[in-house]
Structures are given as C-alpha cells and as structure tokens.
Amino acid sequence: MSYTLIVAEVRRGVFEERNLDSLGLGTLLGGEAVLLVPDGAYEAADKLVDAVVKIKAPEEVYLNPMNMGKILEAVFAARGKPDHILFTQSSSGMEAAAYAGLFGMPVITDVSGYDSQAGVFLKSYYSDKVFGQFKAAGAPAILTVRSGSFREFAAEKAAAAAAEAMEGAPSVEARTFVEYVEEEKADIDITKAEFLLSVGRGIGNQDEVAGYEELAGALKAVLSGSRPVIDKLWLPKARQVGTSGKTVKPKVYLAMGISGAFQHIAGMKDSDCIIAVNKDPGAPIFQYAHYGIIGDIHKVRDKLKELAKG
C-alpha cells in the first residue's frame, strides 16, 4: 500500500481546523499518512500523522495552485505517488480539481463519507438530498473533504511524526498573489455572510438590540433581522431577511426570537445549518431548523456571550 498525502490548508498563520477532517479520512484510509505543510510558524497537528513534509515555500506561494502543482510533482518525485491526495473542501480546496487536470487524476469533491468495505466515497448531490457512492478508477485520486465529516476518526499515532523539509519551487508568473482584502465594515451585505445571527420581534424592544450586536461580535456573526424588526427601525433595511428582504444561504443561520413566518422562512430556508432559539415550542421555525433551543432568548444570548468570551 502506498501513502495518503494530506495537503494542509494553512492561511494567515492558522492551521485551519477543517484539516482535522482530512486527517480523519486519512486515518480511515489506512496506510501511511503524510501531511504537507508550508513554511511558517503555526501549530500543525503532527501527532495525527506519520510524517510531516514542510515545504520551504511561504503560504502565498503554497496556496497558489499554479505553484502547488510543481510542489506536488516534487513530492511525487521524492516519495512516489500516493494513493490519495486530500484537500479541505474550502475556498482553497475548490481549486484542487486543477491538479486532476494537470496530472490526469480522478477527482471527487466534497467527500462526506467513506465505506472502506465497498471502497466507495460518499458525495452529496442536490444539496444533500441524495448521495452518490463513487469509486476512483485509478490512483492517485484527488479528494476534497467536507468540514465536520471525519474529524472524529483522526487518531493520535504511537510515535511522533517524522519531520522532513523540502525545497520549494520558484513561484510561477501565471498567477500571483497581490494582497488580502478585508471585508468592508460599512454597507453590510448579509447575503455574503457565512454566519448570520438573526433577531425577530421576540427580542422585545430596541434596547435589547445592542446586546445581540455584542453577541454577533463575539461569535463573529453578522447581525440580521426579520421584517418586524426592520419595520420598527431597530435594524437597517440592508439587514432584512425574507421574501421582501434578502434571501440568504449562510453556513449557519442562528435565529433568535423569530417565529418563522412563511415570508421569513422563504428568505433563509436553504441555509446549511439553521439553529432556532424561541420560547414558543410551537413556533413554525422549528419545522425548518436543524437544531432548536426552547428558552428565553435573552438568557441564551447572555450565556453565549459569557462562554464565547471566556
């Protein structure tokens, strides 16, 4: 058996937590797990792999798929070709298919399950309504791994990972990193937020809004609201979620004090994960939520703030 090459996602000095899912799948695949990382000072999960190959290339070079193609070539030359090459399903992993084209390898993206018996990978179709079981017709196969799918399988190894350094290749002209651009704080576009904290009429009065703003800040969420909140001018129109406001599809939609009127639901029902907090167990929003908390929203808000800051 060959090895599994796990290409770590490291950005702005952070070894992204979703790498754990790649590591988990690596463990399930069995065999040697080799973690590829860029140059830089950061905490890598080296207890969860057999070997760590540190490329002497800074992040911006490493994360550039035009350069990564060359880096991968160098790894294959040094270690032979792996059975699988794993990337995170992320903005970075969304470019991994380029290596499939470059090297003529099979590619399966957004892998969220693996059946070792059948040797198939589970891939979502139609927004998770059905899943396709896929087999790669050859090795190496490139996989991008869905966040949250495999991290519980990442297992600590008996021995520490063997550390290896590798020369980076010169970066190519065809594509170059210019700079990072931070999100503009003015003129919020809630449709672009990954995480929305949405408040409804249940918050009671305008004075409570500040507390929810603080919570949004602590959780790094963007504050939005349902129509009654905007009609009362507690939040600006740009923050309105619903048929006559904006339609949003964030990764997480945390609805507090929102009952779930039809027109509101229409604006957020395709969110990846809907969490509803409401004191009314019969609130329609619970029919659309993935997770629910029945309780006093102000108390939940304050406790979350406390835990988030701590």
Partner 1 sequence: MLEQAATRVLTCIQCGKCTGSCPESGRTPFNVRMLVRKKQFQSAVDEALPWYCTSCGACTIRCPRDVKPSEVVIELRAKLVEDGDIPVALQKALENTFVQKNPWGRSRNKRADWAQKLDFEVPHVSETESKRLLFVCCIQAYDPRCMVIPVNVARLFKAGGLEFGILGEQEACCGNEIRRIGEAGLFEELEEENKAAFEEYGVKEIVALSPHCMNALKKEYGDTGIKVVHYTELLAPLVEEGAIKLPGSFGKKVIYHDPCFLGKQNGVFDEPRSILSAVPGLTLLEFSRAREVSLCCEGGGGRMFFEVEATYQRNAEVRVLDAVDKGAEIIATACPFCVMTLEDPATEKGLAVKELSEILTEVL
Partner 2 sequence: MNILVFTKRVAATQEEELRITGEGQAVDLSKVPFKVNDWDNYSVEEAVRIVDKSGGSVTAISIGDAESDEVLRRAIAMGAKDGFLVETGDILNDPFTRGELIRSFIDKEKVPFDIILTGVQSEDDQFGAVGGVLAGLMGLPYASMVIGIDAVEKDHVIIRRELEGGLQEKVKVATPCVLSIQSGINEPRYVSIMGIRKASKVERKVFKADGYEKGSPKIELVKWVYPEKKGGATMLDGELADVCGQLLGILKEKGVYQ
Residues 44 to 103: which contact partner 2 by CB under 8 A? 65-66, 69, 90-92, 94-103
Site string for partner 2, 205-224 (x = CB under 8 A): --------------xxx---
3-state secondary structure of 208: helix
Q: Per the structure block, which two tokens stand in for 36?
A: 């590829």
* Piece in contact with partner 2 (CB under 8 A), picked from 33-41, 77-85, 123-131, 230-238: 123-131
Structure-token pair, residue 119: 């040797």
Q: Whole-angstrom Cα distance, residue 10 to residue 12?
A: 7
From partner 2, partner 1, none, which one binds at residue 138 (CB under 5 to 8 Å depending on kind)?
A: partner 2
Please name which of 4, 42, 39 lies closest in space to residue 23, comparing C-alpha atoms: 4
SS3 302: helix
Nearer to partner 2, 22 or 90 (CB): 90
How far is 224 from 247, CA to CA, in rounded Å?
11
Q: Residue 134's binding partner, choosing from partner 1, partner 2, none, with beta-carbon cut-off 5 to 8 A by kind?
A: partner 2
d(CA 275, CA 260) in angstroms, rounded, equals: 12
CB of 171 to partner 2, least distance (A): 12
Q: Which residue number, 159 or 281, has a Cβ lying nearer to partner 2?
A: 281
Site map 249..268 versus partner 2, x via CB under 8 A: --xx-x--------------
d(CA 229, CA 203): 9
CB 117 to partner 2: min, Å = 12
Q: Is 195 exposed, middle or buried (0-12, 13-18, 19+ CB in 10 A)?
A: middle
> Three-state SS for 105?
coil
Nearer to partner 1, 166 or 266 (CB): 266
Separation of alpha carbons 305 and 296, rounded Å: 14
For residue 299, how many other CB atoms are within 10 A of its CB? 11
**Contacting positions for partner 1 (CB under 8 A):** 227-228, 231, 233, 237, 240, 243-247, 261-263, 266, 284
H or E element in which residue 292 lies: strand 291-294
- Report the residue number, 28 or 219, with the smaller CB distance to partner 2: 219
With vertex at residue 283, the alpha carbon angle to CA 281 and CA 287, rounded to the nearest 5 degrees, is 95
Pick one of partner 1, partner 2, none as the site partner of residue 309 (Cβ within 5 to 8 A by kind).
Answer: none
Residue 149 or 240: the one with the smaller Cβ distance to partner 1 is 240
Taking the complex as a whole, how short is the minimal distance between the CB of residue 235 and partner 1, in angstroms? Answer: 12
| From partner 2, partner 1, none, interface partner of 270 (C-beta below 5 to 8 A by class) | partner 2
Binding to partner 2, residues 156-175 (CB under 8 A): 173-175
Integer Cα distance of 8 and 44 in angstroms? 9
Cβ 120 to partner 2, closest distance in Å? 5
